[in-house]
Amino acid sequence: MTNEIAYKTSAGVCNDIDKQEINRVPSGGSERIVQLRALIDRYNYQYYVQDQPTVADAEYDGLFRELQTLEGRYPELLLSDSPTQRVGSAPLKSFVEVSHQTPMLSLNNAFSSDEVRAFDKRIRETLGLDTVEYAVELKFDGLAINLSYRNGIFVQGATRGDGSTGEDVTENLRTIRSLPLRLADALGHVFNADIEVRGEVLMSTRDFEILNAQQLIKGEKAFVNPRNAAAGSLRQLDSSITAQRRLSFYAYAIGGCTVVDLPDCQSAQMDLLQHWGMPVATFRRVVTGVDGLLEFYREMGAQRATLPFGIDGVVYKVNDLALQRQLGFVARAPRFAIAHKFPAEEALTTLLDIDVQVGRTGALTPVARLAPVFVGGVTVTNATLHNEDEIRRKDVRVGDTVIVRRAGDVIPEVVASVKAQRCADAQEFIMPLVCPVCGSHVTRELDESAWRCTGGLFCPAQRKQALLHFASRRAMNIDGLGDKLVDQLVEAHLLHTPADLYRLNMEHVASLARMGEKSASNLLDAIAQSRKTTLARFIFSLGIRNVGESTAKDLARHFGNLDSLMAADAECLQQVQEVGPVVATSMVNFFAESHNLEVIKQLRTLGVFWTEQTVQRDLPLAGKTFVLTGTLASLSRIDAQTALEAMGARVSGSVSKKTDYVVAGVESGSKLEKARQLNINVLTEDEFIKLIKGT
């Protein structure tokens, strides 16, 4: 349909309004104003409706400012449909009531395929047809709105209200970027007729998340879901607030029109609206018979979680408008259409208790135990409450009626509590002081939302993670001890802490499924070999939070032995290069936990050892940071690093102001360039060799 659009209206064929405007305005800026409006409208359409911007933000901003300047210079040219008029106007005292010219209907719902089959059967029987053609669309989870255009210009918008009377929210709707203030096609021709457009105002999931993040920063209440956010934003008496919220609009029907020869089917009417710049969902099509309906339902159900907007179902409409009229209405809903609803993604239930789970990294997560509730297509009895701050922010208490959300495959969450239904004995949540799994004490770092168990070496919840890290190549380097084997050993109750590794014998290991004698012997050899290690590796292997390999090396060089390190307080730890308050606090907490000390003691008793490391301050390159770049001819990168570290130096991967020397081999690239820019000493390979040989 979109090729030739020249509809007869009661006022005549549609006009090119731009030409009329040109005649009315003073010479000079006038033509430019018309040009700029058309251009900005087009760019807005491409950006907000088609999601395909064609100009850079800076260019758009320049055009917009130019238009504002010209409109300021010629105020008589300022029209209500100018793209500059989307910023909101003076706050209202209250909303004015609006009577809808044609009532805004609601849809009957179907919740199962059988109900859809019954709908199709009723229609076929009433019409005496074998099969029926349907227009199928998305059912947006937003607010129904009626838009009125006079001569193609947006003049009024109202909420659905009771279907006959709604509230005038024109100024708020004007701020929605995708809502056209003038109905025009790609060539700038205006749809010069009166038309009522029905559709839905909503907020995309992304814009909802951004808004809620901003609300929290401002210390204001977060919205429960995108629908509430859209409703709260649209029902603002101050439209300048609405202008700051990113709302969207999608049309789904024509409520009335002065054009006498409108297309005679729903799908073509949607094409018509789209042609005149109205946002219409791309997910719509024409199907035949009930199988086509159910196929669309399945397809959209599968895509639901990935759509940018919330939908709560799909809508089926008899496509032919003459047949629609024949079918008519019952009560306030049409017989020719039905909404096939998806399982609700939100439901109310009772919060029975809050348990605390400990994750593999030791993070404590409060989990809601719920009275069973059917939501998002499954029965939910547990939902995450994320962390302590979230519970406080949402003011969720045990015994409350809560809103539970389960969207797609996402873990169910408690979104809010219904305060109006709170009982007097509702209990506030208190975070436990010790880990509910192992009894070690829990801590919370600055800027972290999670509380964590400090019993990293001992806690069963962290056991597998701790063992895998302990055995990893850069830690104790136990070759062959991978994921599956750790699982088997833990499940056979042979491994509880890393110390148990050094208690394993042939009988234990050979008893595991799929474990041959040779493999068992290789594993035991690898474990035995790992007993001899270095202090740095041992520190790293403990899996202390925030202590990586390089920090472990710094600590080993600084303290020289484990007992001094374990005895150090936070202040003392921060004397180590690159150790700040976060690492120092993690270390102190770790060594304050008696369970961890016990495992370390056992490891030493079971024969894990290292030669005490020479303390850094006694070494010639103590406190110096080196960066190696390019290829060295006479030694490998690892050997160069080992040589430097043996002399007390740190080796870093990137050049910064803190770098003391860059060693530049063949084909040194950007690191060498950066070193020169920062005026850092650059050593050739010869100079470097002389340095490490002490010559």
Residue positions annotated with a catalytic role: 139
Count other Cβ atoms within 10 Å, centred on residue 559: 23
CA atoms within 13 A on the CB side of 342: 25
Residue 203 CB, nearest approach to ligand 5U1 (Å): 17
Residue 200 CB, nearest approach to ligand 5U1 (Å): 7
Do you know the residue count of the chain? 695
Does 337 participate in binding ligand 5U1 (rule CB under 6 A)? yes
Place of tokens 């599956």: 484
How many residues bind ligand 5U1, per CB under 6 A? 13
What is the per-residue DSSP string for 99-132?
Answer: E-SS------EE-SHHHHHHHHHHHHHHHT-SS-
Residue 106 CB, nearest approach to ligand 5U1 (Å): 5
Does 198 participate in binding ligand 5U1 (rule CB under 6 A)? yes
Nearer to ligand 5U1 by Cβ, of 198 and 545: the residue is 198
User: Contact 580/597 with Cβ under 8 angstroms?
Assistant: no
Place of tokens 């056979």: 492
What is the 8-class DSSP label of residue 386? -
Residue 138 CB, nearest approach to ligand 5U1 (Å): 6
Nearer to ligand 5U1 by Cβ, of 269 and 629: the residue is 269
Nearer to ligand 5U1 by Cβ, of 313 and 412: the residue is 313
Does 273 participate in binding ligand 5U1 (rule CB under 6 A)? no
Q: What residue type is assigned to position 691 of the chain?
A: L
Residue in 656, 664, 659 with CA at minimum distance from that of residue 682: 664
Q: Looking at 144, 202, 354, 468, which residue binds ligand 5U1 (CB under 6 A)?
A: 144
Q: Looking at 252, 296, 316, 458, which residue binds ligand 5U1 (CB under 6 A)?
A: 252
Within 8 A by CB and 6+ apart from 466, the residues are: 456, 457, 459, 497, 498, 543
**Token digits for 171?**
């100024």
Does 251 participate in binding ligand 5U1 (rule CB under 6 A)? no
Residue 248 CB, nearest approach to ligand 5U1 (Å): 14
Cα separation, 460 vs 438, whole angstroms: 7
Beta bridge partners of residue 296, listed in sequence order:
none
Residue numbers 279-318 binding ligand 5U1 by CB under 6 A = 315
x-or-dash pattern for ligand 5U1, window 614-653, by CB under 6 A? Answer: ----------------------------------------
Place of tokens 């989307």: 86
Residue numbers 122-141 binding ligand 5U1 by CB under 6 A = 137-139
Does 227 participate in binding ligand 5U1 (rule CB under 6 A)? no
Q: Looking at 15, 106, 350, 488, which residue binds ligand 5U1 (CB under 6 A)?
A: 106
Cα separation, 148 vs 135, whole angstroms: 24
Residue 173 CB, nearest approach to ligand 5U1 (Å): 17
Place of tokens 């909101």: 88
In degrees, rounded to 5, the angle at the alpha carbon of residue 5 between the alpha carbons of residues 2 and 10 is 140
Place of tokens 């609009």: 249
Does 334 participate in binding ligand 5U1 (rule CB under 6 A)? yes
What is the per-residue DSSP string for 335-356?
Answer: TTEEEEEPPPSEEEEEEEEEEE
Q: At what angle do helices 29-44 and 57-73 cross, to 10 degrees?
A: 140
User: Contact 415/226 with Cβ under 8 angstroms?
Assistant: no
x-or-dash pattern for ligand 5U1, window 66-105, by CB under 6 A? Answer: ---------------------------------------x
Does 527 participate in binding ligand 5U1 (rule CB under 6 A)? no
Nearer to ligand 5U1 by Cβ, of 337 and 643: the residue is 337
Residue 185 CB, nearest approach to ligand 5U1 (Å): 23
Nearer to ligand 5U1 by Cβ, of 100 and 198: the residue is 198
Applying CB under 6 A, which residues contact ligand 5U1?
A: 105-107, 137-139, 144, 198, 252-253, 315, 334, 337
